[in-house]
Amino acid sequence: MIYIGAEVIVGPLGDTAEDNWEALSENRSGIAPAPAVGFNKEAIHLSKIAGLSGPLRFQQLVIKALAVLKERIDASILTSDRTMVLISSTKGALDDNLHDPFSETCAAVMHAFNLAHLPVVISNACISGVLTLNVAGNMVGVGQYDHVIVIGCDVASDFVLYGFQSLFAVSDKPCAPFDAARNGITLGEGCGAALVSGTQSVFKNRPLELLTGTSANDANHISGPSRTGEGLVRSVMKTMNKHGVGAEEIDFICAHGTGTVFNDEMEAIAFGRLSLSDKPLNSLKGYFGHTLGAAGVIETAVCMQMMRNGMLIKSLGYRDAGTSVPLNIILENEPKKLRTILKTASGFGGGNASLMIRNL
């Protein structure tokens, strides 16, 4: 069995998964208006970490998250040569070193925690986090490593904000995933982490089971979602088939739900094709914004907290149905025993990825 646990979230809502859980259970969002940050000096809603500024923001966040995680595991595995650290990110420390956004952070993390191996960076746009968790599970599954720590991190930058503005993809209000009036993303920053291991005893708290999934390309467009949801359908079908899990076993879907018109529509079509439209579903982007390479890890960590606390969390920002295929969007927090959940992600480059978590 492949275990996942010791989840960590460092973001605008707090520095631990528990702080974040408290905020989520009160439906508090990290999104706030930021004055004069836009390309034309306009105010834009962002989900930014208070007090995180200046150089080495990316490195600071990664090291902070790993320090929190270290407290939740048998710390002796950190220095073992049977342990690997994977970092999931899109832009890394771009603001510190445009030409080499990752090397310095990897070296600093290795040094700070006396790791046996240099961390490896996986950079697959917005599916990076889910993909990296799957890679971690597969590495443990085939015995390449005994323990793999996944850290997903991205920091907000002018670069990314201006880019999404140039695509007219930034919401003029806090993002509203799956809502009829949605009109874009809200950019966020944060860091999520978790330990994936075949050994239950290395977790201080009870771990959950990671049912690793598959990724699939849409083979459609580099920056536009597929109109048929083909890649997402293939990814989810393979993930469920791999573990012999039928639709009736899925208790909840944590969707990607960026809040753009086309992404959310694509997901709705895909979940319809998968006969999963009736499953309770949310997007967590209304709480964290879109944290890009960190999103899949942060959102999986939230799923784990939802399972531990037996609670469905409202999809913040959603009011009126706004997709051609209706979905069962969670309107209010609701206690519910969650045994098996599905997490999905889709992103630029046509990538789609999915995984499942099972409560033990």
Partner 1 sequence: MKVITAYCNLRADECLVNGEVVARWDAGSEDSWFKQIYKQQELAYPKFYKMDVLSQAGYLASELIKRVNPGISEAYADDEIALVFANTSSSAETDRRFIQSYEGGGSPSPSLFVYTLPNIVLGEIAILNKWYGENMFAVLPKFVPGFYLDYSRILFASGSRALLGGWLEVTAGSTDVFLFMVEERESGTEFKEENLIHLSQTGAVAAY
- C-beta of 225 vs 322, nearer to partner 1: 225
How far apart are CB 261 and partner 1 at their closest, in Å?
16
Q: Contact 12/48 with Cβ under 8 angstroms? A: yes
Which residues contact partner 1 by CB under 8 A?
39, 90-92, 94, 98-103, 106, 118, 120-125, 131, 135, 138-139, 141-142, 144, 159, 162-167, 214-223, 230-231, 234, 238, 242, 348-351
Label residue 162 exposed, middle or buried (CB < 10 Å: 0-12, 13-18, 19+).
middle
How far apart are CB 278 and partner 1 at their closest, in Å?
26
- C-beta of 230 vs 267, nearer to partner 1: 230
Residue 206 has phi, psi (to 5 degrees) of -55, 125
C-alpha span between 66 and 85 (Å, rounded): 10
- C-beta of 4 vs 121, nearer to partner 1: 121
How far apart are CB 351 and partner 1 at their closest, in Å?
6
178 HSE (CA, 13 A, CB side): 28
How far apart are CB 129 and partner 1 at their closest, in Å?
13
- C-beta of 20 vs 105, nearer to partner 1: 105
C-alpha span between 255 and 251 (Å, rounded): 13
C-alpha span between 29 and 220 (Å, rounded): 34
Choose among 29, 58, 36: nearest CA to 186: 29
- C-beta of 29 vs 212, nearer to partner 1: 212
Strands 83-88 and 147-154: parallel
How far apart are CB 343 and partner 1 at their closest, in Å?
17
Geometric angle at alpha carbon 140, from 93 and 346, rounded to 5°: 50
How far apart are CB 338 and partner 1 at their closest, in Å?
26
- C-beta of 16 vs 123, nearer to partner 1: 123
How far apart are CB 275 and partner 1 at their closest, in Å?
20
Label residue 96 exposed, middle or buried (CB < 10 Å: 0-12, 13-18, 19+).
middle
